[in-house]
Chains A and B, each alone.
Chain A
Amino acid sequence: MTQSHGTTSAWSRALLLAGAVAALATLGAAPARAADKTVKIGITLPLTGADAEDATLIKNGAVLAIEEANAKGGVAGYKIETVIYDSGTATAGQYDPAQAATNTKKLAADPLVVANVGPQMSGEGKAMAPILSQADLATITPSSTNPDITNPAMAGQFRPKGKAIYFRTVTTDAFQGPNMANYMAQILKIKSVYILDDSGAYGVGIADSYQKQAEKLGIKVLGRDQLNPKEADYTTVLTKIKSLKPDALYYGGVAQAGVKLAKQAYDIIPNIPKAGGDGVQGASFLKGVGFPAANGWYATNASPHMLEDPGVQEWIKTYQARFKMLPNDYSITAYNGALVVLDAIKRVAESGKEVNRSNVRDAIQATKLKTLQGEVSFDEHGDMLSKVVSVFQYRHDPKYPDDDIIHQQKYEGVAPAGS
Chain B
Amino acid sequence: MTIWDILLQQIINGVSLGAMYALLALGFTMVYGIIELINFAHFNVFMVGSFVGLWVLQAMGIVGQGHPLYGLALIGVLLTALVVTMLITGVIGVAIERIALRPMRNVPGTAAMITTIGVSYILFNFILLGAGADSKNYANPLPSVHWEIGEAVLRLREVLVWAVAFGLMLGLNFFVRRTKMGKAMQATAQDQEAASMMGVDVDRVVVIAFFLGSALAGAAGLIFGLYYNYTSFIIGYTAGLRAFTAAVLGGIGNIPGAMLGGILIGLIESLGGQFLAVRWTDVIIFSILVLVLVFRPAGILGRAAPSRS
* Interface residues of A, Cβ cutoff 8 Å to B: 48-50, 52-53, 88, 90, 93, 199, 225-228, 230-237, 239-240, 242-243, 255-256, 259-260, 263-264, 267-268, 284, 287-293, 402
Contacts and interface: CB of A to CB of B under 8 A. Distances in A.
Given A48-B133, A287-B134, A236 B230 contact: no
A243 B230 contact: no
Given A50-B134, A240-B273, A293 B229 contact: yes
Interface string B149-190: 000010100000000000000000000000000000000000
Contacts of A290: 64-65, 137, 229
A191 to B, nearest CB: 19
Contacts of B269: 233, 236
Contacts of B235: 232
B17 interface: yes
Nearest to A230: B238
A232 B65 contact: no
A380 B54 CA distance: 51
Contact of A236 (B5, B13, B155, B282): B13
A286 to B, nearest CB: 10
A199 B277 CA distance: 13
Contact of A255 (B135, B228, B282): B135
B273 to A, nearest CB: 3
A293 B65 contact: yes
B135 A52 contact: no
Interface in B122-147: 124-125, 128, 132-137, 144
Interface residues of B, number: 44
Contacts, number: 118
A98 B9 CA distance: 40
| Residue among B9, B135, B224, B278 facing the most chain A CB atoms (10 A cut-off) | B135
A225 B136 CA distance: 25
Contact of A260 (B5, B153, B230): B230
A242 B239 CA distance: 25
Contacts of B282: 228
The 8 closest A-B pairs by CB, nearest first: A236-B273, A288-B135, A93-B234, A226-B279, A290-B137, A243-B1, A235-B13, A259-B135
B273 A288 contact: no
A236 B278 contact: yes
A106 B134 CA distance: 27
Interface in B64-96: 64-66
B6 interface: yes
Nearest to B121: A90
Given A93-B233, A243-B1, A288-B134, A228 B10 contact: no
A230 B234 contact: yes
B278 A289 contact: no
B115 interface: no
Contacts of A233: 13, 17, 228, 269
A289 to B, nearest CB: 7
A52 B65 contact: no
A90 B9 contact: no
Given A93-B233, A226-B278, A230-B237, 10 more contacts: A52-B132, A52-B133, A226-B277, A228-B279, A236-B13, A243-B6, A260-B230, A287-B137, A292-B66, A402-B64
B196 interface: no
Contact of B273 (A93, A232, A237): A237
Contacts of A239: 6, 9-10, 13, 270, 274
Say whether chain B's binding surface is mostly helix, strand, loop, or mixed: helix
Nearest to A90: B128
A239 B272 CA distance: 12
B281 interface: yes
Contacts of A93: 133, 232-234
Contacts of B124: 90
A284 B134 CA distance: 7
B98 to A, nearest CB: 26
A233 to B, nearest CB: 5
Given A48-B133, A93-B232, A236 B270 contact: yes
Contacts of B232: 50, 93
Contacts of B9: 239, 243
Interface in B40-76: 64-66
B131 to A, nearest CB: 12
A45 to B, nearest CB: 13
B286 to A, nearest CB: 13
20 contacts: A90-B124, A90-B125, A226-B277, A228-B238, A230-B238, A234-B278, A235-B13, A235-B270, A236-B10, A236-B270, A243-B5, A243-B6, A255-B135, A260-B228, A260-B230, A287-B135, A288-B135, A288-B136, A289-B137, A290-B64
Contacts of A289: 137
A53 B134 contact: yes
Contacts of A288: 134-137, 230
Interface string B240-272: 000000000000000000000000000001100
Contacts of B65: 290-293
Nearest to B282: A228
B185 to A, nearest CB: 31
A93 B232 CA distance: 9
A199 B282 CA distance: 14
Contacts of A237: 273, 278
A207 B31 CA distance: 45
A242 B6 CA distance: 9
Given A90-B124, A230-B237, A242 B273 contact: no
Interface in B193-245: 224, 228-230, 232-235, 237-239
A228 B281 contact: yes
Contacts of B239: 232
Given A50-B135, A243-B6, A288-B136, A225 B228 contact: no
B274 A227 contact: no
A234 B230 CA distance: 12
A232 B228 contact: yes
A88 B279 contact: no
Nearest to A243: B1
B188 to A, nearest CB: 34
Nearest to A46: B133
Contacts of B136: 288
